[in-house]
Amino acid sequence: MLHTALQVEGIRAPGKRWGHDTVRAQFAGELIRRRKLYPAELRDTFERLGEVRQVADYAAIPISELSVARAVRRTNDFVATVRKNQDRRKGRNKPT
């Protein structure tokens, strides 16, 4: 998800591959703090969804429906924001 947002904004991997820490740092540093293209509340999206995934995949206890619903909502919000920014870059839905 974060990698897609970086690609949309023209930020490329410093080497052949992005590391997870690099992606998180670039997203928060470049796209949220510096360019202010994404709202600050998306800063910890990757970590929060990763925590839910860890519990869902590896924990002995089942994950709650509420946790799943929140994760889906957070993912949908993130994807919608990336799409909005992508449309903005393509000249559609320009802010007024």
**In the chain, where are the structural domains located?**
2-89
8 A C-beta contact, residue 32 and residue 55: no
Instruction: Match 């990698």 to its residue by tokens.
Output: 3
**pTM of the predicted model over 0.95:** no
Q: Do the beta carbons of residue 62 and residue 52 sit within 8 Å?
A: no
Q: What pLDDT shows up at residue 96?
A: 46
Q: Which of 83, 5, 89 is nearest to 43 (CA)?
A: 5
Least confident of 24-28, 37-41, 55-59: 24-28
Reported as a single tens digit per residue, the pLDDT across 41-96 is: 888 888 888 899 899 899 888 899 999 999 999 999 989 998 888 888 777 655 54
Residue 24 carries which side chain, given as an amino acid letter?
A: R
